[in-house]
Every structure is written in C-alpha cells, then in structure tokens.
Amino acid sequence: MINLNNVNIYQEFEDMMKRQDLNNADIAAVTGVSRSAVKDWRKARKIEDKRLFQIANAFDDERFSLAVVCYSYGYQAIFLNMLDRYRGDDLSLLIGTQKEDLDSDSAIKGLIEELSKKNPDKSIVKGYLKQIIETIGMMLSSVKKIATEQNIPVQQIF
C-alpha cells in the first residue's frame, strides 16, 4: 500500500500501545503472528499493512482506528486532530459530527460564492476546503466508534 498522506502510522501504533497499555504479546495475539515478529516490526519501525485493520479492530482506540483509515485510504492526518475537539463517547461524537456538518454547509456556501468570482482567493478557498475535510474526519470517527461498539468490522463498512 502506498502512503499518500502525512499519517505516521508507526507513531500512531506506538502511541496506541501506550494509551492501551499493550505489549508485544497482545499485538501478536490479535494478528496471529509471533511476539518476535511484533518485536521485529517495532525494531524496524514498520508494521505490515495487512495487520493494521486487525489491530484497529481488536482495540477500542478511536485515534488509531482513524489513523489506519487515513493511512490506508490516503486521507490527510488533519482528520486525527478532530478527535481532540470532542469527548470520545457516541453522543459527543454524533453531536460533534452534526456541528461540523453545519459548519461544512456554511463552508460549501462560501466556497460556491468564492469559486463563482472571476479570480477566487486561494487562501479563502483553502479555508473552506479545510472545514469540509474536517467534517469528513468527524464523520469517519463517529462511524468507526459506533461500528466498533456494534461489532461491525471496518472492512465491512468500506
């Protein structure tokens, strides 16, 4: 898989291991590899791409799950910053998604106005596009959290 974005998936993996207080044996158990294989990944600072969704599905860690989606599908790391704005429970994420969606509606209106001009201001266009991207990130995070709680693997959603 080619990484088309700026998500440092290895660092996200290490951070998730710290947040979840995991060790190599925990990762080995969910990926079906040996502890020494996990040790080798960590030493090389490289995780096999095919193992990322296994790890994300095994542990309730929204940030790592979203990082895997961003990394795998070429989305920008900006999505990961959305998680810092809201609490991690379902209701907060859904309310955050709705708020971001309303903000995105305003951004789309503004973007249409700006693009209708003879010479659109690129910095204004960029700001509107950023807001729309943030909405997508919030929606992804909400979907992943609810899917996990409903025991629906991420791969079945995409």
The pLDDT tens digits of the residues spanning 50-86 come to: 899 899 888 878 788 888 878 887 776 766 766 666 6
If you average pLDDT over residues 119-145, what whole number do you get?
84
98 and 31 share one domain: no
| 136/130 Cα distance (integer angstroms) | 10
Half-sphere exposure of 35 (CA within 13 A, CB side): 5
Confidence of residue 4 (pLDDT cuts 50, 70, 90): very low
79-101: pLDDT as tens digits? 676 666 666 666 777 777 788 78
Listed residue (119, 16, 121, 130) closest to 66, CA to CA: 16
**Same domain as 112, residue 64:** no
Considering the domain architecture, whether residues 100 and 147 belong to the same structural domain is answered as yes
Same-domain status, 46 and 71: yes
Q: Domain range for residue 44?
A: 6-81
Within 13 Å and on the Cβ side, how many CA atoms surround 113? 8
Q: Is the pLDDT of residue 118 over 50?
A: yes
Residue 2, pLDDT above cutoff 50? no
Global pTM value: 0.61
User: How many domains, the chain?
Assistant: 2
DSSP, res 86: S
71 with 107, same domain: the answer is: no
pLDDT > 70 fraction of the chain, expressed in percent and rounded: 87
> What is the residue whose two structure tokens read 């294989």?
37
Q: How far apart are CA 128 and CA 109, in angstroms?
A: 9
Averaged pLDDT score across all residues of the chain: 83
CA separation for the pair 96, 85 (Å, rounded):
8
Q: Are residues 25 and 49 in the same domain?
A: yes
